[in-house]
Amino acid sequence: MTLTVILVKKVAMLEKTRNSISSSDETEVREAFRMISYLLQYPVKRWLQWMELMEVANLYENLKIKEPLIAFLNMIGESSLDDLKEQYVSLFDFNSACSLYLTYLKIGDQRERGQILAELKELYRNHGFLMTDEELSDYLPLVLEFSAVAPLQVSVNLLTSMREPIEKLKSELNNLNSPYVYLIDACLSGCDVLKKITLIGKG
């Protein structure tokens, strides 16, 4: 299944998630990554079925994930689809400081970026995660989709390597008073949980 098809069906998948979230911190974070990935996409009509999304968010036990997700969903519940689209394009498409392409935030368009993108694509392929050519491999929603299904240590290693640009994105969104900062807050909290799990496992 292509990434595009996955994203189109995401609301339905989130509905199923309500019955699958367990008390496992790792499982909860992986499910949250899927939700954050979906919400970081260009807004679509079904995206406004926010009551379903709110029900999912309320199932999370980790308050550092749950509360920012609910805060973001409260924002979209008060906005029209046209307003959401306009805000999204202005924020992510026309503001390079808020790019969702993480290696761009980290090193810009330097020559080595192409090599990093190729290595990311190979990492995905090696773990059975197929992507289309519609998005670059450093696209944050795609990174989160992969991290939701990859082996734990692989996910932690990838997210750790991308921590700097994610933090940079958070800072810029915060400066702009953008509600999207809530999604990045939840993302970083999830990263912290997964890293803690790996450290406990090594202890």
pLDDT attached to residue 50? 79
Let me know if 75 is exposed, middle or buried by CB neighbors in 10 A (0-12, 13-18, 19+): middle
If you write DSSP's letter for every residue of 117-138 in order, what string do you get?
Answer: HHHHHHHHHHTT----TTS-TT
What average pLDDT does this structure show over 113-132? 92
Residue 101 has pLDDT above 90, yes or no: yes
Whole-number Å distance between alpha carbons of 7 and 127: 20
In one-letter notation, the amino acid at residue 137 is S
Return the pLDDT at 48: 61
Percentage of the chain modeled with pLDDT above 70: 86
Token pair belonging to 18: 């309500």
**Tokens (6 digits) for 36:** 């954050």
pLDDT band for position 203 (cuts 50, 70, 90): low
pLDDT of the residue at 23: 39
Contact yes or no for 72/179 (Cβ under 8 A): yes
